[in-house]
Structure 1
Amino acid sequence: MSSSSPAAAGQAVGQLSPGFVLFNFCPQTNSSQPPSGPPYIPTVAQLGGQPKPLPDDPITAVLLALFVGSAAMHMTIFQVNRRHSHRFIFSILLFGFSMARITALTMRLVFSQHSTNVSVGIAAGVFTAAGVLLLFLVNLMFAQRIVRAYHPSFGWHNALRWAFRTLYITVGACLIMVITVSIHLFYTSDPVVRQRERNVQLFAGTYLAVLAFLPIPIVLAARAAAWWKVRKETDKKKRLVAEKFGSGSFKAKMTLLLTTSTLLALGAAFRAGTAYVPRPITDPAWYHSRAAYYCFNFVIELIVVYMYGIARFDKRFHVPNGSSKPGDYAKGFGLSVNKEEEVFGTEEGSATVEEKMDEDDTSGVVGHDSGVMAGPEWEERYAYARGQSVILEQAKKSGEAV
């Protein structure tokens, strides 16, 4: 049977890699008879391999149900918030991510039953690669809010603003590049072209792994710089260096962001790292197994989306609409956002998720999470620390309006 037969085509697409590198082609192969026509058969082992009814279908079905649950959770939170005039767009982004995962898993289920369907195999790989980028963007935007809260003048500077915008644009550019070259690899036999396209795959996978990790040093550097600025200050009034936004302590915000970023960076690094160590298709390594495929992709992502939903990230990372300069976060002080029982329902007298995570409602003090608005002296402390009467008046008016 020739390599261009339907069975060979199905085998080729069935070996699509699930990460950013859709197809790990090794340009130097010992194959004595190269394929005669497209789509060409991969010569190296792929993450997860070709799905089969057993054991892939039961595992995929469970993951599919869990992502349906995450999509319902984030859409419910968004709709309840919308009725309270609180439009938190990140809930929609996580809903979109969950839908992308639902599509990818559905395609994988279909492909396990129709292994010769080239289009289904390619679509499953594309949706798997594309979806996780939304989580990277969400974490980068949250890291930017942390920087702006701790260092308003620097965080709102046009240079930093455009630096983050450049990162967002490059994420989309990398996605387009890697999908284009990965699909094209199925339809070219030119060794020079294949080598160049593999280089594109490796660069894009590595770059996106770095982006997944980037929120960690950004947040830690912002916190460390704020601590450095006030390390010798004995006057507690002058220790207030962060502009409050959302609800919950800064410690809880940073813990949530650092944890999710670590998980996403682990998955991205795994996908990128395996691309650098190709193995023959007849001798796959442990990291090509189904267990590694499902755990380092879908399980990690499920943990992240459920952590954000259960921890109510829509409350913790909320900022006033139209924020565009230092002091704008202060306008959101005291704004009411729906409680957990309005979304999920809570038995009378039971503690909410947020109350369990942190007892203080807010924090803007480096080294001490006592709460900016915890006492009547808040206005004096804020004015003393900032020396901006205009911002103080805006904050007071916002609090009175609520």
Structure 2
Amino acid sequence: MGGPYAPTVAQLGGLPTVDVDVPICAILVVAFLSLGICHMVILRRNLARGHKFIPSGATFGFCMSRIVANVMRIVWACYPQNIRVAIASQIFVAAGVLILFILNLLFAQRMLRAAFPALGWSRPVSWGYKVLYILVFLSIVMLITVIVQSMYTPNPNTHRIDRDIQLYGVTFFAIVSFLPLPMVTMVYLFADEKKVASFGQGSWRAKALVILIAGTLLCLGASYRAGTTWMKPQPINMPPAYMHKACFFIFDFVLDLVVVIIFLFARVDRRFYVPDGSSKLRHYRSDLPNEKAQLQSENEQACETRLVKANSEEGQVV
């Protein structure tokens, strides 16, 4: 394997330029940095009062990944002949958004468990989520691998295989981004709000609305990336209109930025908060700390009973 070789087919956003890409990426860096700081402040304040909400930290991580992606694109624009920088830029653009996909799926799962606990807490659904997360991880590893490999070989057959894997990856991610939409719609339509387990703050309708709006934006971006990838490859010097820079920044960054803003101002840290230990006790009741203490007390009493019984039996034997 030689290379890395410069790309020969048109890509979404095309080759970055200093006069267009640098100012836009700089604005996006400032925007994602500001939002990342806000989510980290919320995380730390919540932790200080015993309110642990890990998705705030995950959103902060997503903002940092988007900052790196934009910085790498600025570097690529300044050094257009550096193919290794181009590879790094493409990897960070492709990988970061998966964090938002998973967070929206997690929020949808909490609504499902609150509305239909027998189904939401069942082992098939729980294992289905775990399998889905594993597939997401393996798929992004495959996608990163073929991005790198395609830059290091001129072999047409290898490029064909790499393209097939890319088509699988973008299609799978578009499906993952779509899953919360029908799930939350069905839960909202068929759930009896009077019997729904209460968790977090805010109304049941507001929770569904946050997931549906965020899911629609994420699915729109993922579907556009999948659609452009499925189109017939065009020469790099003749990019089609749907590969324009405006489309790249809107569907790869601006939509994600809007979702992060929604998570911030909708206060998902309050709206979708569930007590610690709820996954073990399989419900979202607010009396979890008392219940955990009661279970611990019962376990201690059982241990003492077994110990007394063992001592009495030993005395009888003697």
The TM-score bracket by the shorter chain reads 0.7 to 0.9
- Pick one of 264, 269, 273 that aligns with 1:309: 264
Report the Cα offset of residue 324 of structure 1.
Answer: 2.1
* Distance across 2 between alignment mates of 1:116 and 1:308: 38
Report the Cα offset of residue 224 of structure 1.
Answer: 2.9
Instruction: Assess if the C-alpha contact under 8 Å between 1:215 and 1:261 holds in 2.
Output: yes
Report the Cα offset of residue 184 of structure 1.
Answer: 0.2
**Superposition TM-score, scaled by structure 1 size:** 0.69
Report the Cα offset of residue 41 of structure 1.
Answer: 3.7
Change (3 A) 1:164 1:327: closer
Match of 1:282 in 2: 237
Matched, 1:203 2:158: no
- Pick one of 195, 198, 201 that aligns with 1:244: 198
Task: For residue 53 of structure 1, give the secondary structure of its aligned residue in structure 2.
Answer: coil
Task: For residue 307 of structure 1, give the secondary structure of its aligned residue in structure 2.
Answer: helix
Task: For residue 145 of structure 1, give the secondary structure of its aligned residue in structure 2.
Answer: helix
Matched, 1:127 2:92: yes
Matched, 1:45 2:10: yes
Match of 1:235 in 2: none
For residues 349-385 of structure 1, give each alpha carbon's deviation from its aligned partner in whole angstroms, at most 9, with x where no partner exists: xxxxxxxxxxxxxxxxxxxxxxxxxxxxxxxxxxxxx
Instruction: Assess if the C-alpha contact under 8 Å between 2:200 and 2:270 holds in 1.
Output: yes
Instruction: Assess if the C-alpha contact under 8 Å between 1:243 and 1:327 holds in 2.
Output: no
Match of 2:316 in 1: none
Match of 2:252 in 1: 297
Instruction: Assess if the C-alpha contact under 8 Å between 2:76 and 2:85 holds in 1.
Output: yes
Q: Per chain length, whose mean CA-contact separation is higher, i.e. which structure has more relative contact order (CA < 8 Å, sep 6+)?
A: 2
Match of 1:272 in 2: 226
Report the Cα offset of residue 114 of structure 1.
Answer: 1.3
* Distance across 2 between alignment mates of 1:111 and 1:54: 13
Instruction: Assess if the C-alpha contact under 8 Å between 1:71 and 1:95 holds in 2.
Output: yes
Match of 1:257 in 2: 211
* Distance across 2 between alignment mates of 1:326 and 1:216: 27
Matched, 1:167 2:132: yes
For residues 150-173 of structure 1, give each alpha carbon's deviation from its aligned partner in whole angstroms, at most 9, with x where no partner exists: 000111001100001111111111
Correspondence list, 1:43-192, <5 A: 43-192=8-157
Match of 2:314 in 1: none
Structure 2 gap ranges (5+) = 296-318
Instruction: Assess if the C-alpha contact under 8 Å between 2:5 and 2:151 holds in 1.
Output: yes
- The one-letter amino acid of 2:216's match is T
* Distance across 2 between alignment mates of 1:270 and 1:327: 38
Report the Cα offset of residue 84 of structure 1.
Answer: 0.8
Report the Cα offset of residue 325 of structure 1.
Answer: 5.8
Report the Cα offset of residue 332 of structure 1.
Answer: 5.8
- The one-letter amino acid of 1:255's match is L
Report the Cα offset of residue 113 of structure 1.
Answer: 1.0
For residues 21-68 of structure 1, give each alpha carbon's deviation from its aligned partner in whole angstroms, at most 9, with x where no partner exists: xxxxxxxxxxxxxxx963334332111111111011111111110001
Instruction: Assess if the C-alpha contact under 8 Å between 1:156 and 1:326 holds in 2.
Output: no
Report the Cα offset of residue 102 of structure 1.
Answer: 0.7
- The one-letter amino acid of 1:329's match is Y
Task: For residue 273 of structure 2, give the secondary structure of its aligned residue in structure 1.
Answer: coil
Match of 1:221 in 2: 186
Q: How many pairs align? A: 292
- The one-letter amino acid of 2:24's match is I
Identity of aligned residues (%): 42
For residues 110-169 of structure 1, give each alpha carbon's deviation from its aligned partner in whole angstroms, at most 9, with x where no partner exists: 111111222222111111111101000101111110100000011100110000111111
- The one-letter amino acid of 1:166's match is V
Change (3 A) 1:315 1:250: same
**Which shifted more, 319-328 or 158-167?**
319-328
Instruction: Assess if the C-alpha contact under 8 Å between 1:320 and 1:328 holds in 2.
Output: no
**Superposition TM-score, scaled by structure 2 size:** 0.87
* Distance across 1 between alignment mates of 2:147 and 2:28: 26
Change (3 A) 1:283 1:154: same
Report the Cα offset of residue 193 of structure 1.
Answer: 2.1
- The one-letter amino acid of 1:93's match is A
* Distance across 2 between alignment mates of 1:332 and 1:216: 31
* Distance across 2 between alignment mates of 1:122 and 1:302: 23
- The one-letter amino acid of 2:221's match is G
- The one-letter amino acid of 1:39's match is P
Report the Cα offset of residue 327 of structure 1.
Answer: 6.1
* Distance across 2 between alignment mates of 1:137 and 1:37: 36
* Distance across 2 between alignment mates of 1:116 and 1:191: 23
